Amino acid sequence: MYPLIITIIIINDILVLSDFDRYFNFIGVLLPLYYILSSYLLLSYVSVSKIRYKEVFSPSVLIGTFLVLYLTFSIFSLVIDVLKNSIGFAILIIASLFYYLGCCFMVYIRNQYSHGYYILIAAIGCTMVNAMLPVQELYYNNSFLDAFIYSTDVIAMLFYLKFLIRAQGIRKSDKPEFI
C-alpha cells in the first residue's frame, strides 16, 4: 500500500507545483486520501487500551496540542478568503491531517514500539509542510521555501517509512522506568 501512498503524494505535489489555486479541489481529495491511507497503515500500531490520562493530559502534550490547533486555525483564517469556493476541501484536509496526527500521537505516546520517535518526526514534518505550503503558494512565492517545504515532505515520508519498517514491540522490561 505504501507505493500507492507515494504515488498519491507525487501526483498531489505535481498539482501543487503546477497551479495550487486551479487544482485545489483535486489536492483537496488527494491529500486527505494520503492521510487516511497513511493512518490506515498505522492502525495496527495504535493502542488506546490501558492509556493513562497523565500521559495524554500532561502539560507538554496540552501545550503542543494547543499550538498545533492555533497554527492550523491561523493558517486557515489566512487562506479562507482565497479559497472561498473550496472551504469544504480545506476542512477535509484539516480533518484528515488531525486524524493522521492523532494516530501518530497515539503510537508515540504509548511508547510500545521501538523507533517511535520516527513517527513523531514524520508528524512534525507533515504539520510543517501543511502550515507553510498554503502561505508559500498563495502569499509568499519563494524558491528557497519551495525547496525547504518539499525537502521536509520527503524527510517526513522517509521517517514514516522507516518507522513502518523498523518498529518492533517493546517488552515491558525493555521500557525505561521513569521516577
Taking a C-beta distance cutoff of 8 angstroms, is the pair 123, 107 a contact? no
Residue located via cell numbers 499550538: 67
Distances (CA, A) of 104 to 29, 38, 78, 115: 21, 10, 26, 12
Taking a C-beta distance cutoff of 8 angstroms, is the pair 157, 144 a contact? no
pLDDT tens sequence across 117-135: 999 999 999 999 988 998 8
- Cell digits of residue 172: 515491558
Distance CA 5, CA 12 (A): 11
Task: Tell me phi and psi for residue 126, to 5 degrees.
Answer: -65, -40
Please report the pLDDT score of residue 30 as a whole number. 95
Please name the amino acid found at residue 132: M
Band (179; pLDDT cuts 50, 70, 90):
very low
Please report the pLDDT score of residue 122 as a whole number. 94
Taking a C-beta distance cutoff of 8 angstroms, is the pair 102, 91 a contact? no
pLDDT tens sequence across 35-56: 999 999 998 888 777 677 777 7
Task: Tell me phi and psi for residue 83, to 5 degrees.
Answer: -105, 40
Higher-pLDDT residue of 132 and 60 is 132
Distances (CA, A) of 13 to 2, 66, 100, 104, 161: 16, 28, 19, 22, 18
- Give the DSSP per-residue string, 112-139: -BTTHHHHHHHHHHHHHHHHHHHHHHHT
- The pLDDT mean for the chain works out to 87
Distance CA 21, CA 10 (A): 17
Q: What average pLDDT does range 143-158 have in this prediction?
A: 91
